[in-house]
Structures are given as C-alpha cells and as structure tokens.
Structure 1
C-alpha cells in the first residue's frame, strides 16, 4: 500500500476520532459541570472556590458599610489573576495568595489565606 493511501486512512480515522471526542466531552462537561483546570491559576482559584470563605475584621467593616459586596469578592475567585511572584505558596499551614482583579471597574488586589479547611480574605487594596 502506498504511503499516500496509508496517510489518507490515518487522517480519516483521526478526524472521526476527534469529532467523536469533541461531542463526548462537550456533553460530559455540560451535564456534570466539570471543567479542565490544568494551569496553576485555574487550579488555585478552583481550590479557593471549593472552601467556605471567612473575612477579616477590616473586610467585615467594608461589608457592613456597604462599600463592598460579597459578590465583588467572589468575582476574584472566578475572574482573578494570581500574582505568584508576590504570593507565599510555601507557607504552612495557610498559603497566602495575591489575586488581581476588578471591583466596579476599578483595579484591585485581594490578599487571601488558603487554609486546609477554609479561605480567609485578609485585605483588599483598591486603585
């Protein structure tokens, strides 16, 4: 069998397999809500979202004065970018992460402690 013919069969089989896997995984992610988080930023944010959130005294004062909303803080855990250079990822037992994001169209930085059982929001810096 000529090389061109074998290459043609291979490409046809490969394309059928890719189409099958695309439909299979698309259906699976829609039904179960699973997502593929392989990058460090995505993995850390997913871990932060999976734990209960508590707030420091400074954050509780901002929440009580209606200058800030919990939805604003939760948006950091879905749309934020983690600054690994300024984060302390080796601390034991609670790692500290610096998350950059926006609050009401203003840039902000959120400092978070990721403990084994909970997430503590420590500080918000608005620009």
Structure 2
C-alpha cells in the first residue's frame, strides 16, 4: 500500500476518533483547568465565598459590587508572588487582580481554607 493511502486512512481514523471523543466528553460539563491560576480560582469558586466585615465595608466605600468580585474570580489573574502565604487558622492568602464592570482594575484578597474561602479585602488600584 502506498504511503499516501496509509496517511489518508490514518488521518480519517484520527478525525473519527477525535469527533467521538468530543461528542462523548463534551456533554459531561468538564473544563480544562490544569494551569495553576485556573485551579486556584476554581477551588475558591467551588467552596463559596464568605464575605468578611472589612470586605463589606470596602464594598460600600469603593463602589465595587459582588458581581465584580465574582467575575474577577472567574476571569482574574492571581499574583503568585504576593499569594500563597500562610495565614492564622490554616488558610492561605491569595491576591487576585481583576476588573470591574466599568473596566477599572481591582485587587481582591481571599484567604483560602480547606472548607471555605473568605473575602478579606477589595480595593481599587
């Protein structure tokens, strides 16, 4: 059998197999989340966010909404040089850079515990 025929058969089988995998695994609701930034944000979102008194005061003072914080927890970037610092009680502090609905930069500080995530502070840059 010629090389071109073997290549055509291989590519056709690869295409069929790829389509089969996409149809089977696409319905499960799985998402690609293997990078450190994505994994940490997903971990915080899955636990639910408890808002501290200081953060609630910062909401009123800065005009940042909880919707802005939730969008930043989905699309924001974690500054790992300022994050992953142990806190009292066993949690770790994460500093997340995000944006408001008005496209203004904000910084969110979240302490991530084993069973919950606590919003510590929110501020505009």
Fold shared, TM-score > 0.5 on shorter chain: yes
TM-score, with structure 2 as normaliser:
0.83
Change in 2 beyond 3 A, CA 1:66/1:3? closer
Structure 2 unmatched ranges of 5 or more: none
Aligned length: 122
Q: Map 1:41-120; keep pairs closer than 5 Å.
A: 41-63=37-59, 67-88=63-84, 91=86, 93-103=90-100, 104-120=102-118
In the alignment, which residue of structure 1 is the partner of 2:13?
13
Give CA deviations for 1:16-45 in whole Å, capped at 9, x if unaligned. 11122222233x14xxx3322111111111
Residue 80 of structure 2 aligns to a residue in which SS? coil
Over 6 Å off, 4+ runs: none
Q: Which runs of 5+ in 1 are unaligned?
A: none
> What TM-score do you get using the length of structure 1 for normalisation?
0.81
Q: Give the Å deviation of 1:65.
A: 5.9
> Is the counterpart of residue 40 in structure 1 residue 36 in structure 2?
yes
Partner of 1:22: 22
The answer as to whether partners of 2:62 and 2:123 remain within 8 angstroms in 1 is: no
Residue 122 of structure 1 corresponds to 120
The more displaced of 60-69 and 76-85 is: 60-69
Q: Shift of residue 83 of structure 1?
A: 1.1
* Alpha-carbon offset, residue 87 of structure 1: 0.9
